[in-house]
Amino acid sequence: TMAHRRRGVGVGRSSGPKFSKKAEELKAMSAESAMETVKKLEVKITDFAKKHKSEIQEDPALRQKFLQMCAPLGIDPLLSKKGFWGSLLGMGDFYYELAVKVAEVCVASRSRNGGIISVAEVKNILSQRGTKFQLAGQSTKKYSRDDIATAISKLSTLGGGFRTVKVGASTMIVSVPTELDSDHMEIMKLAQEEEGCVTVNTVRQETQWSEERAKRALDLLLSQGMAWLDMDRGVESYWFPSVWKEGFGMDDA
């Protein structure tokens, strides 16, 4: 019985390395299979890009879908005009030029909005100026709000505070390093619903916050120039130019 028990223990010990080796083999096969799948998908995306080159360059909606297809595979057609993707689609320069023009609008409007402006307003300003961009050697005015957000995402990697944030249903560009938390976002969302203006009481009623919490969030937005204070009959109203401007004269694209 003891001998049998010992043999059982011995079998268990000797099988350990075998199982370990098998696990490593399976892991290697799995990794190899995943690499093959990725390579096949890269080939399909390349074929798609070649076949639909002009549509990708001309149609902002298709351009965004194509970038979404590339992202999971680690393909970035925007990195450089050099190399395969740059020469095929020429999108790197387009987004670089767009980012520069968007940054110019953001910086020029800081004194009015404190460094936060809606993507919709930026697009409207660029459209009113008739701004054109080079895409694959052709001059184009066809770009979308998604294109602007993509351009800002590339600009954000350079630092300087540029980033996009969601405020309600809107995408806003922040061009200053100020950290905005969920309370600030909530207040700006309320301002959207209240035609660009809120009071401390409005914020408290809608959020159930204390007066101190509401004032603290509003004071930061006020100090950064993202809100304006208006006093009428003893009532302090906080106006948000970035939100207020978004509601007037904005296109839908």
> Helix crossing, 60-70 with 145-156: angle to 10°?
40
Query: Of the candidates 96, 116, 97, 98, which has an alpha carbon nearest to the alpha carbon of residue 106?
Result: 116
Residue 106 · residue 175 · CB < 8 Å: yes
- pLDDT at residue 25, rounded to an integer: 61
* pTM, to two decimals: 0.65
- Measured in residues, the chain has a length of 253
- pLDDT at residue 58, rounded to an integer: 75
Encoding tokens for residue 147?
Answer: 């294109």
Look at residue 79 and give its three-state secondary structure: coil
Encoding tokens for residue 27?
Answer: 């892991």
- pLDDT at residue 47, rounded to an integer: 78
Query: Rounded to the nearest 10 degrees, how much is the dihedral formed by the CA atoms of 96, 126, 245, 172?
Result: -20
Q: What are phi and psi of 74, to 5 degrees?
A: 75, 15
Mean pLDDT by 10 residues, the chain (253 residues): 48 56 62 68 75 76 78 67 58 79 89 91 89 71 86 73 87 89 92 91 94 94 92 89 66 51
- pLDDT at residue 111, rounded to an integer: 87
- pLDDT at residue 157, rounded to an integer: 64
Neighbouring C-beta atoms of residue 239, cutoff 10 Å: 15
Residue 220 · residue 184 · CB < 8 Å: yes
Residue 194 · residue 202 · CB < 8 Å: yes
User: pLDDT digit string (tens) for 154-201?
Assistant: 777 656 678 999 988 889 999 888 888 999 999 999 999 988 999 999
